[in-house]
A and B are shown apart, each in its own frame.
Chain A
Amino acid sequence: MKTTIYCPDIECDSCVKVLKKTFDGMQGINNLNIKKEHLDVEYEEAMIKPESIVQMIKEKGYRAALQPFTRKTFKERSRDFFANKHKYELEHRMIIFTAITFVLLMIIEYFTYFLLFRDDPVFLTKYGVWFLYATISTVFLSAAVWHINAYKANVTHMVGMMIGMTFGMQTGLLIGSIIGATNGMFIGSIVGMLFGVFVGWMNGKCCGVMGVMEGTMAGIMGGTMGAMISVMMLSDNLLLFMPVFIIVNIFVLLGLSYMLYEEVVENNENVKKIPADFAAFFSYCFVVLFLLGLIIIYGYKSAFVAL
């Protein structure tokens, strides 16, 4: 009899050696072929059962099973991500789109500055860094939103609530903190809240009313809280705080994309893929950033910030 035993922990020659030693000269095993992540065994049915082979591998401290392991660890997933370009075609393409969009938007901002605002001596110190953060936030948020919407599948309530809540919260926090720093608490809260509620709502819709509620609540919370962080820290070290804040928020978005892939897409045959369109993605980002730019430069400013 021949069988395959799945053993994802086989990483190096030493693992192969240990396993070879374990089964060396064992009665009932005719042939043993150890490969990466699985082994092919030929055995005598009368003398040994495949379950006991699995048990012996487990006793050595490796994971083993007769069925393939469905859930990959983060390490395996990331290795697979870079090795298996075809399977993650959508994601790879999207990373390139995100990078190009970011660079293009930065170039457009640069030229807009030179065409329209070059004569304003305080423009760069006042808005420069906030436009950078706004661009980063817009591009990453759009990429994460796109990733969620690139797959059509049935999701559980838990996943839907997670998606709605994370999007509402992250959108609110990022946009709210940026507008809060440039325009003050009033406009910052309103804009952060509107964006947060809208994005949370739209993405929470995938699991019905629970996701919508969760997205809306998180949007309200994130939007007001983001503006609050900025305004309260304005007289403190806000410029030191922001890079950390932005990076942490982006990691949350990356984590959400990772979670979605593991929970919904992997091993699910009913998933429909919707490839990204660069023109659409870029124009979404452009419109959002244009709106944010208008609010930052021409929007109403609280007296506290306008100084």
Chain B
Amino acid sequence: MKIQLTIDGMHCKSCKMLVTDALINLGAKNIKIDLDEKKQVAQLSLEYNDKDKIDIINAIRNEGYKVRK
């Protein structure tokens, strides 16, 4: 399943690395993060096997970022 999310509070490359690492640990594939450093917002798209995307959202929240609904 393809999932697209908008994440708030992302301001640099490090944030991108943290989120990517967390998502790889969950087993997500084709992770793509488009970062707007000025607005501190990132567009995330990825493929995930499980039907429930709450795991993904929780993983991002655990890293300290907000997921827009």
CB pair B11 A18 closer than 8 Å: no
Binary flags per residue of B29-56, CB closer than 8 Å to A gives 1, else 0: 0000000000000000000000000000
* B3 in the interface (beta carbon within 8 A): no
Q: Which of A8-16, A162-170, A196-204, A234-242 contacts B (4 or more CB under 8 A)?
A: A8-16
* Nearest CB of chain B from residue A202's CB, rounded to whole Å: 43
Which residues from 10 to 44 on chain B have a C-beta closer than 8 Å to any C-beta of chain A?
A: 11-15, 17-18, 21
> Interface on chain B toward A: helix, strand, loop, or mixed SS?
helix
CB pair A14 B11 closer than 8 Å: yes
Closest to A19 in B: B14
Query: Chain A residues with Cβ under 8 A from B12's Cβ?
Result: 11-12, 14-15
Please report the C-alpha to C-alpha distance between residue A281 and residue B64 in the assembled complex, in whole angstroms.
53
Number of A-B residue pairs at CB separation under 8 A: 26
Closest to B10 in A: A14
Please report the C-alpha to C-alpha distance between residue A214 and residue B13 in the assembled complex, in whole angstroms.
44
* A121 in the interface (beta carbon within 8 A): no
Please report the C-alpha to C-alpha distance between residue A145 and residue B15 in the assembled complex, in whole angstroms.
44
Pick the contact of B18 from A11, A17, A61 — CB < 8 Å? A17
| Size category of the binding interface on chain A | 10 to 19
Query: Chain B residues with Cβ under 8 A from A21's Cβ?
Result: 18, 21
Please report the C-alpha to C-alpha distance between residue A18 and residue B17 in the assembled complex, in whole angstroms.
7
CB pair B13 A61 closer than 8 Å: yes
Closest to A18 in B: B14
Closest to B65 in A: A14
* A60 in the interface (beta carbon within 8 A): yes
Closest to A21 in B: B21
Please report the C-alpha to C-alpha distance between residue A101 and residue B14 in the assembled complex, in whole angstroms.
46
* Nearest CB of chain B from residue A16's CB, rounded to whole Å: 8
CB pair B17 A61 closer than 8 Å: yes
Closest to A10 in B: B14
Please report the C-alpha to C-alpha distance between residue A13 and residue B14 in the assembled complex, in whole angstroms.
9
CB pair A14 B21 closer than 8 Å: no
Query: Chain A residues with Cβ under 8 A from B15's Cβ?
Result: 12, 14
Query: Chain B residues with Cβ under 8 A from A14's Cβ?
Result: 11-12, 14-15, 17-18
Query: Chain B residues with Cβ under 8 A from A17's Cβ?
Result: 14, 18, 63
* Nearest CB of chain B from residue A174's CB, rounded to whole Å: 34
Binary flags per residue of A1-35, CB closer than 8 Å to B gives 1, else 0: 00000000001111101100100000000000000
What are some 26 contacts across the A-B interface (CB < 8 A)?
A11-B12, A11-B14, A12-B11, A12-B12, A12-B14, A12-B15, A13-B64, A14-B11, A14-B12, A14-B14, A14-B15, A14-B17, A14-B18, A15-B12, A15-B14, A17-B14, A17-B18, A17-B63, A18-B14, A18-B17, A18-B18, A21-B18, A21-B21, A60-B17, A61-B13, A61-B17
Q: Which 3 A-B pairs have the closest CB atoms?
A: A14-B14, A15-B14, A14-B15
Footprint of B on A, CB under 8 Å? 11-15, 17-18, 21, 60-61
Question: Given A13-B64, A17-B14, list of 11 further CB < 8 A pairs?
Answer: A11-B14, A12-B11, A12-B14, A12-B15, A14-B12, A14-B17, A15-B12, A15-B14, A17-B18, A21-B21, A61-B13
